[in-house]
Amino acid sequence: MAIPLILAVFTAPIIAMAANYTSLVTFIFGDSLTEVGNNNYLRYSLARSDFPFYGIDYPNRIPTGRFSNGRTIADIISEKLGIPSPPPYLSLNRQDDALLKGVNYASGGAGILNDTGIYFIERISFDDQIGCFENTTRVIKKRLGEESAVSLLHEAIYFIAMGKSLLRSPLYVFGLSIGSNDYINNFLQPFLPYSRRYTHDEFLGILELKLAEQLTRLYLLGARKVIFLGLGPLGCIPSQRAKSTTNQCLQQVNEWVVQFNSKVQKLINVLNVKLKKAQLTFADTYQDGMDLVENPGKYGFKVSNTSCCKVETAVGGLCLSYAHVCDNRSEYVFWDAFHPSDAANVVLADRFFTKLFATSNSSSNSSSSHEG
Ligand SMILES: *[C@@H]1O[C@H](CO)[C@@H](O)[C@H](O)[C@H]1NC(C)=O
Ligand SMILES: *[C@@H]1O[C@H](CO)[C@@H](O)[C@H](O)[C@H]1NC(C)=O
Ligand SMILES: *[C@@H]1O[C@H](CO)[C@@H](O)[C@H](O)[C@H]1NC(C)=O
Ligand SMILES: *[C@@H]1O[C@H](CO)[C@@H](O)[C@H](O)[C@H]1NC(C)=O
Ligand SMILES: *[C@@H]1O[C@H](CO)[C@@H](O)[C@H](O)[C@H]1NC(C)=O
Ligand SMILES: *[C@@H]1O[C@H](CO)[C@@H](O)[C@H](O)[C@H]1NC(C)=O
Ligand SMILES: *[C@@H]1O[C@H](CO)[C@@H](O)[C@H](O)[C@H]1NC(C)=O
């Protein structure tokens, strides 16, 4: 079998042909950074945020299950695209037309590995999120059959979602934000087996193998245009700083995150070659996150070394109703011990958007080779 010599690495052009962003359909996978309320439907899940002070800056001050005082980064990106933020998968029934217009599978506490976040009792692991997506594709295929529409090619699966008038420029984006919990709620917990059994290099190898399998499965289910959001500087989130006697960022954790990002970037380059029609993109937000933490003033923030709710301890901290919420939430980069504030999500979404979408404008000559 011939091995292609020119490796087409798609680093940006995903949104290039978007003459009209309103035709975008997004399927979102991930953890608490992108969850919009799936865990509310998991009765025994301890990873939840459907109570005050979550949502204090959300429309009508409703705690929706978003791990933020307001919107998540996924909400803000959807807003920028002019499309509604897709609803939580578990809020939809199998017949729901909304399934055809984009779904959010993200679940707080979830990771690449099944047993990540195990002490939250219930969460939808990435494997299970892909299982939910598989079920969604079944529904979409069934609809296609019913309407005896387009033939069942991979891409065709999704045409229905956009209506016939939009067939000319179908655009499907799969956003992924997964991996943070494999550190925070797995490898960095000394009482869990992974940190005792494996070195970081070995752990990274395990994550890579699993992720390769998961991205391949998504591809086989029809996903083509996939954006993987890299990890931010986890060593600087308040719950990690709290482990330092001087409240500093944990350098070791940040170094591991950088290694993880680099590993995933390489994996994505390999998969883009191996899976012929894949258009996977790695969006590196590490530097942007770091800049926000190191130079909060540059972005209009005042505090980045503690959270607005001041709930951080070495074991975490959510902004529960007994917390004392800071006076001005827009001055804080972090809302609780783990998650950026709405205001910080605006900055991060903005950087993400500019990078990904602006570069994609030069797409007419951008599917060239970037690295070997
Ligand atoms: C974008 O597409 C939508 C749906 O077809 C349509 O209603 C809208 O007018 C279009 N907008 C532009 C600027 O073409
Ligand atoms: C992970 O969970 C999925 C679905 O619950 C299951 O099919 C799979 O066997 C599990 N994998 C491992 C390694 O435990
Ligand atoms: C997919 O649907 C089947 C059949 O309805 C169900 O048994 C299964 O649990 C679903 N999978 C997920 C991950 O929700
Ligand atoms: C955060 O940084 C400020 C200086 O910018 C310092 O005065 C304050 O003590 C720090 N807070 C914590 C909790 O480290
Ligand atoms: C809150 O902080 C933001 C950002 O620093 C600032 O623009 C705004 O004026 C502040 N609001 C109040 C009520 O002080
Ligand atoms: C892309 O380029 C077109 C003109 O070629 C311009 O109208 C549009 O605003 C650009 N989009 C972005 C996201 O920069
Ligand atoms: C294509 O690449 C050339 C050289 O790198 C650049 O000058 C040009 O602006 C690019 N075209 C588009 C449409 O971005």
Q: What is the pLDDT of residues 260-274, one digit of tens each?
A: 999 999 999 999 999
pLDDT for residue 367: 33
How long, in residues, is the chain? 372
**What mean pLDDT comes out for the span 275-302?**
93
CB atoms within 10 A of CB 189: 17
pLDDT for residue 168: 31
CA-proximal residue: ligand 1, atom 10 (nearest): 20
Given a cut of 80, is residue 341 above it in pLDDT? yes
- Stronger pLDDT, 188 or 20, i.e. the higher one: 188
**What mean pLDDT comes out for the span 249-270?**
96
d(CA 219, CA 223): 5
pLDDT for residue 252: 97
* Active site positions, annotated: 32, 336, 339
The verdict on the CB of residue 362 being under 6 Å from ligand 4 is no
Q: For residue 361, how far is its CA from the centre of ligand 7 (angstroms)?
A: 10
Q: Identify which ligand lies nearest to the alpha carbon of 17.
A: 6
Lowest mean pLDDT among 157-171, 189-203, 206-220, 311-325: 157-171
Of residues 293, 300, 341, the one with CA closest to residue 56: 341
Of residues 353, 348, 370, 264, the one with CA closest to residue 299: 348
Q: For residue 302, how far is its CA from the centre of ligand 5 (angstroms)?
A: 10
Predicted confidence band at 23 (pLDDT cuts at 50, 70, 90)?
low
Share of the chain above pLDDT 70, in %: 80
Q: For residue 279, how far is its CA from the centre of ligand 6 (angstroms)?
A: 21
3-state secondary structure of 293: helix
pLDDT for residue 19: 40
Q: Identify which ligand lies nearest to the alpha carbon of 14.
A: 6
pLDDT for residue 27: 86
pLDDT for residue 22: 52
The verdict on the CB of residue 368 being under 6 Å from ligand 7 is no
Lowest mean pLDDT among 1-10, 27-36, 92-101: 1-10
Given a cut of 90, is residue 20 above it in pLDDT? no
d(CA 216, CA 214): 5
Share of the chain above pLDDT 90, in %: 58
On the 0-12 / 13-18 / 19+ scale of CB atoms within 10 A, 150 is: middle
Which atom of ligand 7 lies at the shortest distance from residue 362's CA?
14
3-state secondary structure of 266: helix
CA-proximal residue: ligand 4, atom 10 (nearest): 305
d(CA 248, CA 242): 8
- Of the ranges 156-160, 205-209, 217-221, which is most confident? 205-209
> pTM for this structure?
0.82
pLDDT for residue 172: 60
Query: Which element (helix H / strand E) includes 127?
Result: helix 126-146
CATH 2.40.128 fits 20-288, yes or no: no
Given a cut of 80, is residue 162 above it in pLDDT? no
Q: Identify which ligand lies nearest to the alpha carbon of 365.
A: 7
pLDDT for residue 160: 21
Which amino acid is residue 210, in one-letter code? Answer: K
Mean pLDDT of the chain: 82
pLDDT for residue 364: 35
Predicted confidence band at 144 (pLDDT cuts at 50, 70, 90)?
low
Question: Which residues does 39 contact at the CB level (< 8 Å), separation at least 6?
Answer: 45, 47, 48, 49, 50, 65, 107, 108, 109, 122, 123, 124
Predicted confidence band at 122 (pLDDT cuts at 50, 70, 90)?
very high
Q: For residue 242, how far is its CA from the centre of ligand 3 (angstroms)?
A: 40
> Cα 311 vs. chain centroid, distance in angstroms?
24
pLDDT for residue 100: 74
Longest pairwise C-alpha distance within the chain: 65
DSSP 185: I
Given a cut of 90, is residue 167 above it in pLDDT? no
Q: Are 214 and 130 in contact (CB under 8 A)?
A: yes
pLDDT for residue 137: 80
The verdict on the CB of residue 115 being under 6 Å from ligand 5 is no
Predicted confidence band at 225 (pLDDT cuts at 50, 70, 90)?
confident
- Stronger pLDDT, 345 or 353, i.e. the higher one: 345
Predicted confidence band at 246 (pLDDT cuts at 50, 70, 90)?
very high
pLDDT for residue 288: 94
Given a cut of 80, is residue 365 above it in pLDDT? no
**What mean pLDDT comes out for the span 101-124?**
92
Given a cut of 80, is residue 115 above it in pLDDT? yes
Angle between helices 200-220 and 251-274 (to 10 degrees): 40
Which atom of ligand 5 lies at the shortest distance from residue 301's CA?
5
Of residues 357, 20, 295, the one with CA closest to residue 163: 20
Q: Hey, what are 271's tokens?
A: 């998969």
